[in-house]
């Protein structure tokens, strides 16, 4: 083999080696691109799933109270307004006052009177809202504070007490309408579904609110009415009323 032939073979070998290097580089580049694309896709999926299954909680400080609610906050005290922070609202608990014919103001004033208790047998109870017989709504505790109404769910729920005319616990239509509107407003503001609204009964087994415990079909209808009110935003069309008697 002559010298020129050896040089040609050497050049061919060098070109072959160079082509293999380039091919290997292209393969590595493709693998890297696919890897980056896979990471981006995985990150996008995680962000999407996070948006579905986990949301930043709504800050209760940022939720205004509707104009048709009368604010009559309790005096801070250990028994009915302890000023404990309520940072993450995960649900709404419906109650009945279990004191037929009592008014929203009377129930609010009962919560207020607890501040004067002394001794070991002191009672702790309150509610964020009380809805009266005429549909008036009184706020007793700020949305960003815990109320003593729902036992182990006090720390992550808003409580609503409802007045009623008799022992059956059934609400007047005016009270029921206000309950639907207030609940729909709170669900909308805190980005909750109607199913996040529960009875005191669902927390402790206590027969409260009695009518909705005795008539579970009416409780389901209430959920439906709340869902409809959320869609129609009926709470935005209410007239401003006083706190009643």
Q: Does residue 243 form part of some domain? A: no
> Rounded mean pLDDT of 14-20?
75
Q: Cis link prior to 196 (omega < 30° from 0)?
A: no
| CA-to-CA separations, 41 to 32, 46, 54, 55, 236, in angstroms, rounded | 14, 9, 19, 21, 41
Residue 101: CATH number of its domain = 3.40.80.10
> Rounded mean pLDDT of 216-241?
91
Number of structural domains found in the chain: 2
Nearest residue to 147 via CA among 167, 126, 118: 126
- pLDDT tens for 155-164 read 999 999 999 9
What is the domain extent for residue 35?
Answer: 1-54
**Cα 215 from Cα 5, distance rounded (Å):** 101
Would you say the pTM of this structure is higher than 0.95? no
Whether residue 9 sits in one domain with residue 109: no
Whether residue 183 sits in one domain with residue 78: yes
Whether residue 110 sits in one domain with residue 9: no
**Residue found by looking up tokens 């000023």 in the block:** 83
Whether residue 164 sits in one domain with residue 72: yes
What is the predicted pLDDT for the residue at 30? 77
Q: Are 160 and 226 in contact (CB under 8 A)?
A: no
Nearest residue to 203 via CA among 137, 148, 152, 139: 152
- pLDDT tens for 194-224 read 999 999 999 999 999 999 999 999 999 999 9
């Amino acid at each position: 083999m002559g010298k020129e032939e050896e040089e040609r073979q050497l050049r061919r070998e060098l070109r072959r080696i160079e082509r293999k290097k380039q091919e290997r580089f292209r393969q590595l580049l493709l693998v890297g691109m696919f890897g980056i694309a896979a990471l981006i896709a995985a990150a996008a999926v995680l962000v999407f799933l996070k948006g579905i299954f986990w949301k930043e909680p709504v800050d209760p400080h940022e939720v205004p109270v509707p104009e048709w609610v009368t604010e009559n906050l309790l005096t801070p005290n250990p028994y009915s307004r302890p000023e404990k922070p309520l940072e993450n609202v995960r649900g709404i608990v419906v109650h009945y006052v279990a004191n037929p014919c009592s008014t929203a103001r009377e129930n609010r004033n009962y919560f207020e009177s607890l501040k004067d208790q002394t001794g070991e047998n002191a009672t702790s109870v309150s509610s964020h809202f009380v809805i009266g017989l005429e549909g008036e709504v009184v706020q007793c505790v700020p949305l960003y504070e815990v109320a003593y109404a729902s036992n182990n769910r006090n720390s992550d729920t808003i409580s609503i007490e409802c007045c009623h005319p008799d022992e059956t616990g059934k609400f007047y239509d005016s009270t029921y309408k206000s309950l639907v509107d207030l609940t729909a407003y709170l669900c909308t503001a805190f980005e909750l579904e109607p199913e996040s609204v529960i009875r005191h009964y669902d927390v402790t087994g206590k027969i409260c609110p009695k009518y909705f415990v005795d008539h579970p079909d009416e409780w389901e209808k209430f959920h439906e009415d709340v869902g409809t009110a959320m869609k129609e935003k009926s709470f935005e069309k209410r007239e401003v009323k006083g706190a009643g008697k």
